[in-house]
Amino acid sequence: MSEPFFSQLKCRECGALYPKKAIHVCEYDFGPLEADYDYGKIRAAISRGKIQSRPLTMWRYRELLPIDGEPTVGLKVGFTPLVKADRLAEALGVSELYVKNDAVNYPTLSFKDRVVAVALSRARELGFKIVACASTGNLANSVAANAAAAGLESYVLIPYDLERSKVLNSLVYGTRVIGIEGAYDQVNRLCSEIAGKHGWGFVNVNLRPYYAEGSKTMGFEIIEQLGWEIPAHTVIPMASGSLLTKINKAYREAVKVGLVSESKFGIYGAQAAGCNPIAAAQKAGTDLIRPVPKPDTIAKSLAIGTPADGYYAVNVMRNTGGAAEDATDSEIIDAIKLLAETEGIFTETAGGVTLACAQKLIVSGKIPRDERIVICITGNGLKTAEALDGHLPPPARIKPSLREFDALIAK
């Protein structure tokens, strides 16, 4: 089928138009390229009813995703639960709170399956046989799994010192895992050199305009799951800042194509205190992002010291009346436990960052207590289990004896 909705790529800085190939920066001013759509056509073609008649996956928003034909990779990704979190709401002292739970996204338990589904579907359309990524862990897991299922060869490049489970969860799919002795920014720099030299499809380098759009589906789902309303406040973790800018874009596009009526919303960003270049800029009232050369946080998935979309993320927060926060390692651990104990959801360290920052934003009054709040939980706790080492009591151990059991619970 020929696809009339996604027309071209467009420079975010100067607006120059480019053909929809594996390119990601403007030749003229080095600005990032972004997918550009014919919203008039989409508006005429899309409706709530049409979307609701489709399978419960991220692809139900197909018209607003940048591929030409039918998707071929990641067909089952998305439509994760939006949990009304009443016990957590009570703990935080707010009236209406939801958790968007991408800790159970399919197949690799993070929101990255969304971006990879789009990037690899597009990679196939563009004829790539080898795909790759620079990753802080979750993206590598998702590229490895989805490439395996699609029969594509893959390479994933990661900082060498990631969590054990994150590394394992790439290795098992038979991908080539390459640990780089350096922080993420150095991994990323190497990947842009490799992409230039080897002509592979790097999902977050030369395929980044396609990849990034996948994050919008988290926003579309939130709107639909709230009964076609945009939440007043959304709290989102930031590494490069892409997810945050794309949830904002999803909310705007949903209005533009007539799926929801316009309403005021605030977008809030969360980072770890040990790697907070975007949050620090937002708090200082500037959009000049000062790189963090040596990130130091247990939230390794968010440890990007030179965030590619930092400038845009700060501006989204400013323009929507949102704000940013950052959380220390111990606040992250406490938040992981709080989410588990109140809602039965075990998130990775990035989710701890998000909840801890939401809490701080509520306490400081930046998020009001009596309006609807959504927090985006983007990854699964089993992948960063070692972050909890020493923070949970060991299980009790007894003989298989009723007397020992009774003595134990009487304590």
Ligand X SMILES: Cc1ncc(COP(=O)(O)O)c(C=O)c1O
92, interface contact from Zn ion, ligand X, other proteins, none, CB < 5-8 Å by kind: none
Helix-then-strand count for the chain, H and E: 15, 13
Binders of Zn ion among 31-90, rule CB under 5 A?
31
Three-class DSSP category at 25:
strand
165 vs 58: CA distance, rounded Å: 26
In whole angstroms, the minimum distance from the beta carbon of 208 to other proteins comes to 6
Which two tokens mark 407? 């003595």
With CA atoms as reference, report the closest residue to 123 among 239, 249, 214: 214
Asked whether position 27 contacts Zn ion by CB under 5 A, the answer is no
CB closer to other proteins out of 93 and 291? 291
One of 30, 293, 389, 399 touching other proteins (CB under 8 A): 30
Which stretches of 198-329 are assigned E, i.e. beta strand? 201-202, 233-237, 266-272, 324-327
Overall residue count recorded for the chain in this entry = 411
Q: Which stretch binds Zn ion (CB under 5 A): 18-26, 108-116, 267-275, 312-320?
A: 18-26
Asked whether position 28 contacts other proteins by CB under 8 A, the answer is yes
Q: How many CB atoms lie within 10 A of CB 262?
A: 11
Beta bridge partners of 101: 377
Asked whether position 16 contacts other proteins by CB under 8 A, the answer is no
Size of the site for other proteins (CB under 8 A): 30
238, interface contact from other proteins, ligand X, Zn ion, none, CB < 5-8 Å by kind: ligand X
158, interface contact from other proteins, Zn ion, ligand X, none, CB < 5-8 Å by kind: none
**Can you list the pairs that 17-20 forms with residues at least 24 positions away whose Cβ atoms lie under 8 Å?**
20/66, 20/68
In whole angstroms, the minimum distance from the beta carbon of 278 to other proteins comes to 12
Asked whether position 161 contacts other proteins by CB under 8 A, the answer is no
277, interface contact from other proteins, Zn ion, ligand X, none, CB < 5-8 Å by kind: none
Give me the residue whose beta carbon is nearest to ligand X: 379
One of 134, 140, 373, 375 touching other proteins (CB under 8 A): 134
CB closer to other proteins out of 142 and 342? 142
One of 66, 71, 307, 379 touching other proteins (CB under 8 A): 307
166 touches 195 (CB < 8 A):
no
CB closer to ligand X out of 16 and 83? 83
103 touches 355 (CB < 8 A):
no
| DSSP secondary structure string for all residues of 69-121 | S---S-TT-----EEE-HHHHHHHT-SEEEEEEGGG-TTTSBTHHHHHHHHHH
167 touches 158 (CB < 8 A):
yes
In whole angstroms, the minimum distance from the beta carbon of 182 to other proteins comes to 13
CB closer to ligand X out of 237 and 266? 237
CB closer to Zn ion out of 11 and 115? 11
CB closer to ligand X out of 80 and 110? 110
CA 258 to the chain's CA centroid? 25
16, interface contact from other proteins, ligand X, Zn ion, none, CB < 5-8 Å by kind: Zn ion
CB closer to other proteins out of 57 and 245? 245
88 vs 167: CA distance, rounded Å: 31
Please give the torsion angle defined by the CA atoms of residues 59, 64, 70 and 73, in that order, rounded to the nearest 10 degrees. Answer: -50
Asked whether position 149 contacts Zn ion by CB under 5 A, the answer is no
At what angle are helices 138-150 and 112-125 packed, to 10 degrees?
Answer: 40
One of 8, 16, 39, 189 touching Zn ion (CB under 5 A): 16
Asked whether position 304 contacts other proteins by CB under 8 A, the answer is yes
CA 57 to the chain's CA centroid? 16
140, interface contact from ligand X, Zn ion, other proteins, none, CB < 5-8 Å by kind: none
Which two tokens mark 112? 């990255």
Interface residues with ligand X (CB under 6 A)? 110, 136, 138-139, 237-243, 301-302, 348, 350, 378-379
138, interface contact from other proteins, ligand X, Zn ion, none, CB < 5-8 Å by kind: ligand X
Which two tokens mark 85? 């979190």
How big, in percent rounded to 5, are the helix, strand and coil portions of the chain? 45, 15, 40
CB closer to other proteins out of 19 and 344? 19
Residue given tokens 């700060």 in the structure block: 314
Positions touching other proteins (CB under 8 A) are 13, 24-25, 27-32, 134, 184-185, 188-189, 191-192, 202, 204-205, 208, 239-240, 288, 290-291, 304, 306-308, 311
